[in-house]
Amino acid sequence: MVFDAIIVAAGSGARAGGPKQWRMLGGKPVARWSAEAFLAADARRIVVVVPPGDNTPQDVFSGLERVTLAQGGGTRAQSVANGLRALGDDAAEIVLVHDAARPLLTAVHVAGLLGAMGDADGAILTLPLADSLKRGADVITSTESRDGLWRAQTPQAFRTDVLRRAYAAWPAEQTPTDDAEVVERIGGRVRIVPGDPRLMKLTYPEDFAMAEALIGRTTRVGQGYDAHRFGPGDHVTLCGVKIAHDQGLVGHSDADAGLHAITDAVLGALGAGDIGQHFPPSDPQWKGAASDLFLAHAAHLVSARGGRIVHIDVTLVCEAPRVGPHRDAMRGRVAEILALPLDAVSVKATTTEGMGFTGRKEGLTASAIATVELLA
């Protein structure tokens, strides 16, 4: 069934501590979740109603086809009316109106609404009331029946011409609780469709923690390894920390084997190749470069996929320099680069007891494991 969608994203988010529609959730802005869900459900066109003069939406919806922006009004009802006008005369027969503050929308929700339309004027997602209803102020005066009462969610689906007529007839001095009420007032028939508790509305700051917990994630583990030989110099850099030494490490960049191994571990968890593919040693721009640039790049790739790095474990193998005195500084630097708590970074050191090239003090090695969570 062909349909258009309106996403209402023009609120100030006062109770959430700011414009919640632009806050990050699972690695992307809240409002983008709904736009991508409508695209996945094959919406013909999506109009996002945004605050006047706000340039943020240009970046939030960058790269999404069939998405256009419209200016919001002083109330939600005015914003919906503006969205309807933005659809123009060639709007689809069905329009879905959705609050950007309900980001965990899926194509299944959309299909349920469209399938319920039939000959009705609208259809809305609803949840039954599970709690007892009490009436009163300081003391309870009565207990109300829950029979026939529902919690309304969005999106809500309507015949576009009916919703337009309903808003044209709505008294300007009154504020509707939702779009279904506007259609009900002109006698429209609105069907009830089973809703989904995961379509919770983000209202307060603590709601974001709940939404993060509801996002499906998969855990991946990546492994990285690097080795560098010693050469002329008066220091080495390991895990982002400069350590005085009677030799240096030879490499195209700063030869930080620790950060190189961690970077490869993160890239491995993503299935994104290795450090040489992203920063070829044949490219002169990386000569002598600080390796924290490489690790920050890998971390950005994780964020771009809606993921997060959970834990880093790196082991340095060398006879010298001594790692112990610098262990906490190394942990702190890696944690800083990846925006992790200190206890999410482990740095260990060992020797080969005189065996091999590390035992002969010809060089050192580093191995790392990165644990990453990605959107399922």
DSSP string over 172-199: TT---SSHHHHHHHTT--EEEEE--TTS
Question: Under a CB-based contact definition with an 8 Å cutoff, are residues 235 and 205 in contact?
Answer: no
Indicate the pTM of the whole model: 0.70
Any idea which residue has 């640039």 for tokens?
293
pLDDT for residue 217: 83
pLDDT for residue 355: 96
pLDDT for residue 69: 96
pLDDT in tens, 209-228: 899 888 878 999 999 999 99
pLDDT in tens, the chain (376 residues): 899 999 999 976 555 556 899 999 888 899 999 999 999 999 999 999 999 988 899 999 999 999 999 999 999 999 999 999 999 999 999 999 999 999 999 999 999 999 999 999 999 999 999 999 999 999 999 999 999 999 999 999 999 999 999 999 999 899 999 999 999 999 999 999 999 999 999 998 899 989 988 887 899 999 999 999 999 999 999 999 999 999 999 998 999 999 999 999 999 999 999 999 999 888 888 888 999 999 999 999 998 887 889 999 999 999 999 999 999 999 999 999 999 999 999 999 999 999 999 999 999 999 999 999 988 7
CB burial readout 267-298, b (16+ within 10 A) else e? bbbbebeebeebbeeeeeebeeeebbebbeeb
Give backbone dihedrals phi and psi of 54, rounded to 5 degrees, phi first. -95, 120
3-state class (DSSP) for residue 52: coil
pLDDT for residue 98: 98
pLDDT above 90 covers what percent of the chain? 85
pLDDT for residue 91: 96
pLDDT in tens, 118-159: 999 999 999 999 999 999 999 999 999 999 999 999 999 999
Give backbone dihedrals phi and psi of 371, rounded to 5 degrees, phi first. -105, 125
* Cβ count within 10 A of residue 117: 19
**Which residues are registered as beta bridge partners of 311?**
371
Report the C-alpha gap between 247 and 229 in whole angstroms. Answer: 10
pLDDT for residue 15: 59
Question: Under a CB-based contact definition with an 8 Å cutoff, are residues 94 and 157 in contact?
Answer: yes
